[in-house]
Structure formats: C-alpha cells, structure tokens
Amino acid sequence: MPDPLKIVVVGGVAAGPKAASKVKRLMPDAEVILIEKGALFSFAGCGLPYYVSEVVHEQKDLMATPVGAVRDTAFFQKVKGVRVLNRTEAIEIDREGKQVRIRALESGEESWLPYDKLMLATGAGPVVPPIPGVERKGVYTLHSIEDAERVKASLAEGRVRNAVIIGGGLIGIETAEALAAKGCQVTLVEMLPHILAMMLDFEMARLVELHMQSKGVRIMADTKALAIVGEGDAVSSVQTDKGQLPAEAVILAVGVRPRTELAMKAGLAIGEKTHAIVVDECMRTSDPDIYAAGDCVECKDRITGQPCFVPLGSTANKQGRVAAINMCGGHDTFPGVFGSTVCKVFDFCVGRTGLTEKAARANGYDAITVLSPGADRAHYMPTAKTLMIKLIASRATRKLLGLQVVGPGAGDKRVDVAAMALAAGMTVDQLAKADLCYAPPFSGAMDNIITAADIARNKLDGQMASLTPMEVRAKLDAKEDFVFLDVRSPGEWEEVRLPGSMLIPLGALRERSGELPRDKEIVAFCKASLRGYEAARILLGQGFTDVKVMDGGVAMWPFAKEK
C-alpha cells in the first residue's frame, strides 16, 4: 500500500477547514493537518458585527454547526478526521524538501511537517492606517472573535458614548449599525466622496447615507482622519480635516490586506495590483504542490478578466472545495467572481453585482444606466417594501454589466438574479424575459429587475432619452433654462417636491401640454419614472422635440427635497 497522502493546510477560518474536511471525505486515508495561529478557528467572521450588537448572543454560536456542535479540535478530529494544531504558526516553507516549519506559540517549540500538498488559507488582516494614536486604548479593529470581545467589553463598561468609525466600507457600515444598536452616538468618517465606494456608485451610496443619517449615524464623507487624540493612553477624540470628533471608542475599518508573508518568503507569485497570492483556476499557486484559497488569494473578475481582490466567506468556501478536489488528484476549477456583495444597513438591504457605472467606464465600456424604484412585491400587499435598483448595461452589446440595490425591499434576490445573468452573459433583452417566479407575497407581476431591464431596452432602442439626477442637479446648479416637469398627482406634490420643478399631473398632460414651451428642453419625472416616461411619450407624440425623462424620479433623488 502506498503511503497515505499528506496534506497540510495553513489557516483555520473558512477556506482552510472547508478544504481539509473535503479532502478527508474524498480520501479517508489522507493525513490532513490544519495549522491555525489563533486559539479559535472555523468561526463565522462575517457574524462579528451581529455578535457585537447582540443579535447573536453567544460566542459559541459563531463557532457551532447548524445543530450546535462546536467546531473545536476534538470535533475536527472525531467528526472530520482532521488534526488541528491551533496556537501554532507556520513560519517557513521548504518547497524543495516539501515541508513546512511550524512553531507552537505556547511552548515556542519548532518542527518540520512534511507535505505532499500544501494549502495556504492565511486569510486577510485588517489594515491599521498610519495615523498617530492608533495604539491608544479604545481603538479597535473588528476582525477576530478576540477583537469582538474587546469591543463588547468596552461597551459593557458603559464608557462609550461616542464612537467614531474610520472607513465606510462593509465592515465600517455593519459596525456603525452594531454600535448604534448598542446606544452609541456613531460618526462614520470616510476619506472618499461617499461610503461603500468600491461597491456602489455615488447616487446609490448617497441613498444609503441618507438612511443611516435617519437612524442617527453621522456620516462624514470626504473627510480624513488625521490623528487619534487621547488623555493618558485612552482615546478621547478623533482629529479630522473637518474638525475634532469626541470618541471613547474608535473602530478602524479601512479595509483588509491579504496575509502573504509566508507565501512571499517562499517566493510564490504575488499579484502586482492586488498584493494577494496568484493562483490559477485550479487554485494552484506558482508552485504546483502548493494551493491557496480564500481571503489571501486574488480572484479573476469575470467581466473584465482582470485580477481583483474581493475577500468573502462565500468565495473562500467555494475555492476551498476546488483546492481540495485538485489536491486529491481530481479536477475542478473556480471561474472567478462578479463582486457580488450584500450588506444589511439598518432597515436597508444594500447590494451589488458586476461593475459599477464608474468601474464600467474606467474599463472602457460605453455604459447606459437605469435607476428604477418600486415595490419589491405586489404593491397592494402590506408586506411590500421599496426597492431601488440601478442597472448598468453595455450600449454596444446590450449585455448586463452590473446591478446595485438599495432599500428595505428584498434586494438580495435581485442581486442574485443579476449575478446569474452576468454568468450567462445575458443581454438586457434576455434578462427582461427571465421566467422569475411570481405571486403577490413575493414579487410584482413585472419583477423589479425585469422592469429595470425593460427600461434599459427602451433606452437602447431610442424610445427614452434620459438624464441622471446628477445631470439634472448640475443643470439646476448652472441655472440652465429648462422645464423640470413633475407629472405626479397634486397630493404627491403637496407632500414633497424637487427644487425648481413645476407640476402638470400626467392625467391632465394631454390637454394642458399647451402650457409648456416648445423651444425648451423638458425633463419629466414622477415618483418612480413610469409616469415621467409616459409624459415624455405623450409630449413627443404631440410634436415636442426635446423631451427627456429623469431617471429614478423623486424616490431616488439623492439630494435635498422641498417639503
């Protein structure tokens, strides 16, 4: 009998345990050793904000299987047949000799572990920005269970009234909600012009900011944190270029960086743009006996074909499985990602897949965009909630390029549908014919994404000339002479209005169009913009020549409204 296959996996959070377990299922004879630096492992890192907010009550909930078994070393040995060495660091790879040097952190003892296949699942670590004062007490990252315990302990002490979050990405946003839920006065500081800058375009992010503000979170975009100021060793405020913010707790959430020291020391290829470990579709590094997966590797963007770094637990699990199959001599591939992301922000579901408009243009696409708000199920159902969609498509190929969702409605469903459309390379014409399941408690007869696709088709077919709210805002700011035509009902007008607009309700437009000048640009809108579109079609039918529709209507206007 040949010697059993020796597999060493470095890293015990997501991709590592997944791969180790899968290897044992594929090859029960294999010797699988999992090395983990921390004491705790195989925990749900994405659940940490919910543990801080006590939506998730117990630490063990984050480390248990769905039936409540805690994934500790005994569990892995007994159930998975995987030997876990935790509190153990992998410090060097001898690629020639196919062995990895490990150090037990408690005893300091070192030894060499031989491997047939090695897998790196070293993950990513939080970036600590080079700001004076980051070492102060009360300054946290939120990346490990230990981090979460520290934040929870400081909250439990009752000292934290003001919290400042530095960084408006996913972790920053989720932590803002968690701390607000715990009664803190939260200020979020973001260097870029808007939050969630990698995920959303300006107008969509702005709608999220407005929602967070309505929940009491102060958003300071375009703001640099300059120093963390304190009395003694504890933080007392954050100095920014827009003023000083009191803070008894500061969360650093400026992003994560792949952990690649071990790979770099071993001379494995590292991505120039991503700084993550380069792998092929089989999750093999530049050394054919070393695999890597999860937050430490770079991915392929399936639209642009470019390398990207999108660390996510979902991707890590899929990649871990692919690596396991290939390490066992099988064949599987990971095709890359569309950057599908979702995030709960108070009452909003915020999501994205594919390219943002900004990314699409940066990649040379002639993109058309649609803003489409609507009820996420039959509008007469009491459970219906608003869902605001931005759809991006290629003018040249009519293919979907990306989708963003914001609002209380079930946006995650539409992001997933769009992700599948992207995987299939669908045009908006094909997407508009998607056979999505329909019943009033779950969707409208025309699903939101189908409506958005149909609007895109109207635009591509020249049926609908449109302006974005940003373009209209610029016209207003430049005091351009145009008619900003609201075609909603008088009751809706009474409630809220857009600046500089005039009202002719759609039902009266066929008769009252004489009130409109024929020599000026007319920009029609309503609440969503179906009526705006109908108004434009009516006016064009009556011989008006320069009529446009403003995308997204009052519902998605990302600027101040008049009340």
Residues 280-319 contacting a second copy, CB under 8 A: 302, 312-318
DSSP-derived 3-state class of residue 507: helix
Closest CA to 42 of 10, 67, 22, 12: 12
Could you tell me the two tokens for 375?
């009820």
CB of 308 to a second copy, least distance (A): 12
CB-based contact 211:409 (threshold 8 Å): no
287 versus 492: smaller Cβ distance to a second copy: 492
Rule CB under 8 A: is residue 156 a binding residue for a second copy? no
Listed ranges 74-82, 109-117, 225-233, 259-267: which one lies at the site for a second copy (CB under 8 A): 74-82
CB of 84 to a second copy, least distance (A): 15
Which listed residue (203, 454, 486, 521) binds a second copy by CB under 8 A?
A: 454
Q: Which residues pair with 186 in a beta bridge?
A: 163
Listed ranges 127-135, 251-259, 334-342, 392-400: which one lies at the site for a second copy (CB under 8 A): 334-342
CB of 24 to a second copy, least distance (A): 7
58 versus 110: smaller Cβ distance to a second copy: 58
Host H or E run for residue 239 = strand 234-240
Looking only at residues 37 through 56 of this chain, which bind a second copy when binding is defined by CB under 8 A?
44, 46-47, 50, 55-56
Per-residue HEC secondary structure of 532-559 comes to HHHHHHHHHHCCCCCEEEECCCHHHCCC
Q: How far apart are CA 155 and CA 495, in angstroms?
A: 41
6 versus 224: smaller Cβ distance to a second copy: 6
CB-based contact 126:170 (threshold 8 Å): no
Rule CB under 8 A: is residue 506 a binding residue for a second copy? yes
DSSP-derived 3-state class of residue 212: helix
Rule CB under 8 A: is residue 143 a binding residue for a second copy? no
237 versus 529: smaller Cβ distance to a second copy: 529
Looking only at residues 362 through 421 of this chain, which bind a second copy when binding is defined by CB under 8 A?
374-375, 378-382, 410, 412-413, 415-417, 419-421
| Kind of pairing between the strands at 299-300 and 307-308 | antiparallel
Which listed residue (75, 482, 493, 559) binds a second copy by CB under 8 A?
A: 75
Listed ranges 33-41, 87-95, 134-142, 341-349: which one lies at the site for a second copy (CB under 8 A): 341-349
**For residue 218, what is the DSSP state?**
E
Q: How far apart are CA 292 and CA 316, in angstroms?
A: 10
Residues acting as catalytic residues: 46
CB of 403 to a second copy, least distance (A): 10
Rule CB under 8 A: is residue 424 a binding residue for a second copy? yes
Which listed residue (79, 128, 264, 502) binds a second copy by CB under 8 A?
A: 79
CB of 536 to a second copy, least distance (A): 9
Which listed residue (104, 210, 434, 465) binds a second copy by CB under 8 A?
A: 434
Q: Which residues lie below 8 Å from residue 66, measured CB to CB, with a gap of 6+?
A: none
Looking only at residues 475 through 494 of this chain, which bind a second copy when binding is defined by CB under 8 A?
488-489, 492
Q: How many residues bind a second copy (CB under 8 A)?
A: 109
Closest CA to 239 of 313, 184, 305, 187: 187
Q: Which residues lie below 8 Å from residue 169, measured CB to CB, with a gap of 6+?
A: 195, 196, 197, 198, 199, 253, 254, 255
Q: How far apart are CA 413 and CA 65, in angstroms?
A: 25
141 versus 427: smaller Cβ distance to a second copy: 427
Could you list the beta-strand ranges (E) of 280-384: 290-292, 299-300, 307-308, 341-345, 348-354, 367-375
Q: How far apart are CA 309 and CA 299, in angstroms?
A: 6
Q: At what angle do helices 313-327 and 15-26 cross, to 10 degrees?
A: 30
CB of 156 to a second copy, least distance (A): 21
281 versus 366: smaller Cβ distance to a second copy: 281
Q: How far apart are CA 146 and CA 63, in angstroms?
A: 13
Could you tell me the two tokens for 187?
């200020």
Q: How far apart are CA 557 and CA 481, in angstroms?
A: 20
Please provide the DSSP assignment of 394-416 as one string. Answer: ETTT-BEEEEEEEESS-HHHHHH
CB-based contact 303:288 (threshold 8 Å): no
CB of 400 to a second copy, least distance (A): 11
Rule CB under 8 A: is residue 554 a binding residue for a second copy? no
262 versus 526: smaller Cβ distance to a second copy: 526
Listed ranges 92-100, 127-135, 256-264, 507-515: which one lies at the site for a second copy (CB under 8 A): 507-515
Looking only at residues 513 through 542 of this chain, which bind a second copy when binding is defined by CB under 8 A?
526-528, 531, 533-534, 537-538, 540-542
CB of 1 to a second copy, least distance (A): 13
CB of 61 to a second copy, least distance (A): 4
Rule CB under 8 A: is residue 450 a binding residue for a second copy? yes
Rule CB under 8 A: is residue 62 a binding residue for a second copy? yes
Rule CB under 8 A: is residue 463 a binding residue for a second copy? yes
Q: How far apart are CA 217 and CA 183, in angstroms?
A: 11
39 versus 69: smaller Cβ distance to a second copy: 69
Looking only at residues 344 through 363 of this chain, which bind a second copy when binding is defined by CB under 8 A?
344, 349, 351-353
CB of 471 to a second copy, least distance (A): 23
CB-based contact 147:139 (threshold 8 Å): no
14 versus 119: smaller Cβ distance to a second copy: 14
Q: Which residues lie below 8 Å from residue 237, measured CB to CB, with a gap of 6+?
A: 228, 229, 230, 244, 245, 246, 247
19 versus 266: smaller Cβ distance to a second copy: 19
Could you tell me the two tokens for 33?
């050793």
Rule CB under 8 A: is residue 433 a binding residue for a second copy? yes
